[in-house]
Amino acid sequence: MTTTTSEKPLILVLCTGNSCRSHLAEGLLRAAAGDLFEIASAGSKPAGYVHPLAIEAMKEIEIDISGHHSKHLSEFLDRNVETVITVCGNADQACPIFPGQVNRHHWPFDDPAHATGTDEEKRAVFRRVRNEIRRVFTAYADGRRDALKARRA
């Protein structure tokens, strides 16, 4: 049986601006567990764009987030959100409780949008943060997958 998007539990990744970290996490988690969960991201004060260096950093690992757009978390207040994951301190403070919310995690990461220096130095910060997010969210996806297998056994 194929699961449709509407049947999958929704995991919402929140960050203040919804321009970098939350999109990196959304893309990585979708790649790791998109077969099990619907993944979305939003912000408490959306920047209105996805940072070009975030798109570039993800393209380097063959994940395309160029179609993502910056959204306000209020777009999800009427959705049944199973898990909320905040990736910055401000979003953790501003995060409401969503209908159906069962889990909440707070895993803060540096904001690569604040990187300074040459273009290559900025790219290096985006890559570092992308790799940190990748480690955490891949482990999370693996844990969720293992828990589902154990429940089915």
> Known catalytic residue: 20?
no
User: Which is it for the CA torsion 68, 101, 143, 113, positive or negative?
Assistant: positive
Query: Per the residue annotation, which of 57, 81, 95, 141 is the catalytic one?
Result: 95
Catalytic residue among 10, 12, 13, 15: 15
Distance in angstroms (rounded) separating the CA atoms of residues 127 and 134: 10
**Cβ pair 82, 102 in contact under 8 A:** yes
Which position among 14, 87, 88, 141 bears the catalytic label? 88
d(CA 34, CA 26): 10
Do 113 and 18 touch, CB atoms closer than 8 A?
A: no
Q: What is the DSSP letter of 10?
A: E
Cβ contact 21:133 at 8 Å: yes
Q: Does the annotation count 88 as an active-site position?
A: yes
Active site residues: 15, 88, 95
